[in-house]
Amino acid sequence: MILPVHASTPFIPADKGPSWDAVGGRLYFNGVCIKRCRRDARNQRIVLDTLQAEGWPESRADPLRLLLEQLPELPEGTPDPCTRLRETIAALNHGQRPWCLRFHTNGYGTGNVWVGVEPRRQSDA
């Protein structure tokens, strides 16, 4: 379930772990902004909204698949669920500064989204 976000409520990022400011479009890790999502990054926002609403579980069903199943008809050109999830995960991993989170699927593309903390190695700096 995705909870509504009210613009009048100030967002305070978590000191530990990931947090998502849906109004500002910012992804935080340990209180530091690591990524900004454009308003048109709909699929990324759906995944992040869901993870934030559920307290950042390590795994969960694909929220994109669940959302599209509610539509009476899929828009023309909609990629299959596995491709859509893989592309969304790749976009979530892209552009993080610094790179702190690794999003991935369960390997089957059947709907599990995992969020793992990847420690930065000295050679990554």
Q: Per the domain annotation, does 115 fall within a domain?
A: yes
Count of domains in the chain? 1
By residue range, what is the domain housing residue 94? 42-124
How far is residue 108 from each of residues 81, 96, 113, measured CA to CA in Å?
Answer: 11, 25, 11
Q: Per the domain annotation, does 85 fall within a domain?
A: yes
Q: Per the domain annotation, does 113 fall within a domain?
A: yes
The count of other CB atoms within 10 Å of the CB of residue 27 is 25
Confidence of residue 122 (pLDDT cuts 50, 70, 90): very low
| Burial track 14-25 (b if 16+ CB lie within 10 A, e otherwise) | eeeebbbbbeeb
Q: Per the domain annotation, does 49 fall within a domain?
A: yes
Residue 10 has pLDDT above 90, yes or no: no
Query: What pLDDT is recorded for position 63?
Result: 86
Query: What pLDDT is recorded for position 53?
Result: 93
Q: Per the domain annotation, does 18 fall within a domain?
A: no
How far is residue 76 from each of residues 7, 88, 106, measured CA to CA in Å?
Answer: 33, 18, 27
Rank 19-33, 55-69, 74-88, 92-106 by mean pLDDT and report only the highest: 19-33
Q: Per the domain annotation, does 13 fall within a domain?
A: no
Report the predicted TM-score, pTM, of the whole model to 2 decimal places: 0.77
